[in-house]
Structure 1
Amino acid sequence: MNVLMLVITSVATDTRVVREAATLAGAGHHVHVIGRGVPADWTPPPGVTVSSAGGASVFARAGAPVGTGRPLPPHLRAARWALLPRHRASAFAAWARAAQPDAEARDFDVVHAHDFNTLRLAADLADRRGVPLVYDTHELWSGRPRVGRPTPVLAAREARLEAELGGRAAAVVTVGEGVADALRDRYGWQHVTVVQNTFPSGTAAASVPLPERPSGAVYAGRIAPYREIETIVAAARELPGFGVTLVGPSDDTYLAALDRGPAEIRAALPVDDVDALLRGTGLALVTHSDRWENHRLAMPNKLFHAVRAGVPVIATDVQELARVVRRHGLGTLYRPGDAASLAAAIREARDRYPELAGNVRKAEPLLSWEHDARALLGVYAALPGTSL
C-alpha cells in the first residue's frame, strides 16, 4: 500500500512523523512524506521517501537574520503581535499550494494528515482519489497556545472545519486519552485511536550509567513561552550546586528577554545526545503551563523521552501529565508557576531517586513505541479497502 503523509515540519526532527512512517514501512508499505524545509542531506528510514514543499509566508522578509536573540523594539513587538496570525495563515496556505501538485503527481492508497493545518488539502486529495483519510492530530488544535492577537472568528471557523473534515475521515489518531476524550466530547467522534508520542525502548546512551544521586535536571524541548521556563530558572536559584540545563530550539524574541539566572541554555541536540545528557545528570524536567486547554490535556514528548532514557521526571501538576506520572510513579510534581514548589519537587526526587528510577523501568513496556506501534498498525489494518 502507498501511504501519502502530509506535515508542515522539516520531518527530520519530527520524531512522531518519522516513527509512524518507519513503522508503516516496516510493515511492508511505501510511505512518502511531503514536509516543509526538509534538509537536503537528511536520510529517511528504509521504505520512506520525502519531498519538501515551499511555504514562505508573504510576511516573511527575505534575508532576515535568524538567531540573533536581540529584543525587538516596542513598535516591532506590537506589529509582530498584530500580524502573527496572518503570517501563520499565509505560511500554511503557501505550503498547501506548493504541496498540492507534488501530491497529485504521486500514487497513494491512503492520505495521512498530520495536524489540522494539512487537513483541508489531505481531505481534498482523499476525496478526489476515493481513498481513506487518516487525521493524525498531534494536539487539541482549538486548545493550543496562541501567540499574537486573539482571533476568535478564525478559531471558530477552524473548529467547524475540523469537525466536518475529521468526521469524514476513516480514522482519527491522537496523542493521548485526554485529547481523545475532548475530541469525542466536542465533535461526537467515535473513531479516535490513541497513539502516544513514545520512543522505542532502549537507548544508544545505555552505556552512560545513571548516577547514584542526581547532579542536575535537564529540560529538553522548545525554549519558548508557556513552557514554565521562567519557573525553572527561578527554581535553579534555590538549588545552589545543582545543575539545571535547558536544551532545545528557541524562540529568539522570547530568549532575548529571558533572565537566565544560573540555568545553562544549550542549542538543540540529537536525540541520543539528549539521552546521554539526561542519564548523566539523572532527572528530566517535563514542564508546561496550565493556561491553555491543550496544555492540560497534552502528553509532552519530554515525558516519553525521559522514560526511554530511564530517568525520573519532575513534572507540572497539570491534568493529563500529572495523571500518568502518578499512575506509574514516574517522578514528582509541582504547582505550575511556583518556583518554590518546583525546587521542593526536585529535592524530593533526589531523596527518592532509587525508588523512582525503578518505577520508570517498570513502566517502560507500556510507555514505549513498541506498544503504540501496534495501535497504529491496528488503525491501518481496519481502513476500508486496505490490508496489512
Structure 2
Amino acid sequence: MSRKKVITSAFSNLYTDQRIEKVCQTLHENGYEVDLIGNNWGGAGKMERPYQFSRILLVSKTLKTAYFEFNWKLYRELYGKVKENKNIILHANDLDALLPNYLISKKYKIPLVFDSHEIFSEMPAVQGKMSQKLWRYLQDKIVPNIKFMITASGSYGKWFQNKYGIKPIIVQNAPRKIDFDIEIPNNQPKTVLYQGAINPFRGIDKAILAMHHLENAIFKIAGDGPRKKEYEDLVIKENLQSKVQFLGKLLPEDLRKITITADLGMSIEENGGESYFYSLPNKVLDCIQARVPLIMANLPEMLNIKNQFDVGEIIENHQPENIASVIQKVLDKGRKNYQNELEKAADILCWENEEVKLLEVFEKASQR
C-alpha cells in the first residue's frame, strides 16, 4: 500500500540509535517511504538500512555550535525536499531537531510528528547553562502547538501534559520480542552488566566502588561517553582492574549478544533532573527482553516496572555498600528464579506492542 513519505530527522549519527532504527523500520514495513536524516557528530559508522538515509556533514568543533549548524543545514535540507514533494510527514526526534521541522511544517502546512525521547530542556548536560534557557524557550514556544506528539515514558507524557496541555502518545523504547530458548549460562565469576552511555548521574562510579564489597563477580560496562576516561582512572585508582571491564561502544546486534549472557543488569540512574527522574531507560527493557534480572533506581518508571513484575530489586540509595548488597541479593536468588516474571514482562514490554500505537499516530497524521 502506497503511503505518504516520512522524512525523519535527528541530531544523531544514527549508528547506535535503536529507537530511530525501530521506528523507521516499522514505518518502512508498513508502506511508508522513509527518508532518514542524521549527522556525523561523533563519527559516521558504516550502516545498511532498507530505506534511504543520509548524514549532514558538520564542521563545528563544539557541541554548542554543532547544534546551530545542524539546525540551519537541516532547514535547508528539508526545504529542498519539501519543494519537490509536499505529500510528506515530517518526523522530528527530540528538541534539538524540532525547530527546522516546525518552521517547514508551518510554511507548507504539512503534518509534523514530534518524538520526544526525553525532556531535553531538563537533561543534566544543559542544566544551569545559558543553553538551557534557549532550549526551554524553544520548547515553550513550539510544543503547545504540536498536533502529533509521542514520548518514551508515561511519566514524560504526564510532564508534558501538565506543562503544556498536550497529551503525547506513549511509545516506550522497548526492543523487539526475543523468542527465548537459550540455556542460561552458569557464569563463574558472575557477570554484572551496565549498558548505555557513560554519562554523569548514571550511578556507574558508585557501582564501580561497590565491587570492593563483592566476591566472585565482574562488572562489565558496555558503552562510551564523556565520563569513560574518568571511570577508567577510578578503576585503576581503586585497584579494581580484575573486577571491572570496559567493553566500549557496541553495535546493537553485538550488544544483544552480551546482554543475554549476563547474570544481572543495572539501571541505577540518579536524580539528575526531571529528564532522568521520569525516564524509563532503554537498558531496563533490553534486559527484560533478554530475561536478565535487574537492580534499578528508586525512580517512578522503574518502581512502576517492579510493582507490575518481580524482575529484580530496587536500591534504596547510591551508597556503594547498599548497591553491593542488592547485587548480592539478586545473584544469590539466581537468574533462573526470575524467569517466570521476566517472561511475563517480556511478553508485554516489547516493540511489537508499542509499534501499534506508533502506526496509529502516523495514520492520523496522514489524514491531515
Instruction: State TM-score, norm by structure 1.
Output: 0.84
Aligned residue among 233, 250, 254 for 1:269: 250
Instruction: Give the 3 Å change call, closer, same or farther, for CA 254–56 of structure 1 in structure 2.
Output: farther
Q: Percent identity?
A: 20
Q: RMSD across aligned C-alpha pairs, in angstroms?
A: 2.1
What displacement does 1:254 show?
3.4
Provide the C-alpha distance between the structure 2 equivalents of 1:258 and 1:226, rounded to a whole number of angstroms.
16
Provide the C-alpha distance between the structure 2 equivalents of 1:278 and 1:167, rounded to a whole number of angstroms.
39
* Aligned residue pairs, count: 351
Provide the C-alpha distance between the structure 2 equivalents of 1:29 and 1:357, rounded to a whole number of angstroms.
37
Provide the C-alpha distance between the structure 1 equivalents of 2:45 and 2:343, rounded to a whole number of angstroms.
38
Instruction: Give the 3 Å change call, closer, same or farther, for CA 346–40 of structure 1 in structure 2.
Output: closer
Query: Corresponding residue for 1:211?
Result: 185
Contact in 2 for aligned 1:116/1:162 (Cα 8 Å): yes
Provide the C-alpha distance between the structure 2 equivalents of 1:342 and 1:56, rounded to a whole number of angstroms.
42
Asked if 1:173 is matched to 2:155, the reply is: no
Instruction: Give the 3 Å change call, closer, same or farther, for CA 282–93 of structure 1 in structure 2.
Output: same
Provide the C-alpha distance between the structure 2 equivalents of 1:21 and 1:134, rounded to a whole number of angstroms.
13
Asked if 1:197 is matched to 2:194, the reply is: no
Deviations 1:45-67 (A, max 9, x none): x2x2111112332xx2xxxxxxx
Contact in 2 for aligned 1:298/1:320 (Cα 8 Å): yes
Contact in 2 for aligned 1:297/1:321 (Cα 8 Å): no
Provide the C-alpha distance between the structure 1 equivalents of 2:332 and 2:45, rounded to a whole number of angstroms.
47
Provide the C-alpha distance between the structure 2 equivalents of 1:89 and 1:268, rounded to a whole number of angstroms.
23
Amino acid at match of 1:259: V
Asked if 1:240 is matched to 2:240, the reply is: no
Provide the C-alpha distance between the structure 1 equivalents of 2:258 and 2:134, rounded to a whole number of angstroms.
43
Query: Corresponding residue for 1:83?
Result: none
Query: Corresponding residue for 1:227?
Result: 202
Amino acid at match of 1:180: G
The correspondence of residues 1-388 of structure 1 with structure 2, limited to 5 A, is 1-37=4-40, 39=44, 41-44=46-49, 46=50, 48-57=51-60, 60=61, 87-106=62-81, 107=85, 109-146=88-125, 150-151=128-129, 154-190=131-167, 192-202=168-178, 208-211=182-185, 215-251=190-226, 252=228, 254-255=230-231, 257-259=233-235, 261=240, 262-353=243-334, 354-383=336-365, 385=367
Q: Secondary structure of 1:294's match?
A: helix
Provide the C-alpha distance between the structure 2 equivalents of 1:263 and 1:335, rounded to a whole number of angstroms.
23
What displacement does 1:373 show?
0.4
Contact in 2 for aligned 1:225/1:254 (Cα 8 Å): no
Provide the C-alpha distance between the structure 1 equivalents of 2:347 and 2:261, rounded to a whole number of angstroms.
23
Contact in 1 for aligned 2:75/2:101 (Cα 8 Å): no
What displacement does 1:213 show?
7.4
Deviations 1:78-116 (A, max 9, x none): xxxxxxxxx433111101222223222223511111000
What displacement does 1:256 show?
5.5
* Farther off after superposition, 16-25 or 342-351: 342-351
* Farther off after superposition, 129-138 or 32-41: 32-41
Which consecutive unaligned segments of at least 5 residues does structure 2 have? none
Which consecutive unaligned segments of at least 5 residues does structure 1 have? 61-86
Amino acid at match of 2:146: A
Contact in 2 for aligned 1:53/1:95 (Cα 8 Å): yes
Q: Secondary structure of 2:16's match?
A: coil
Instruction: Give the 3 Å change call, closer, same or farther, for CA 175–129 of structure 1 in structure 2.
Output: same
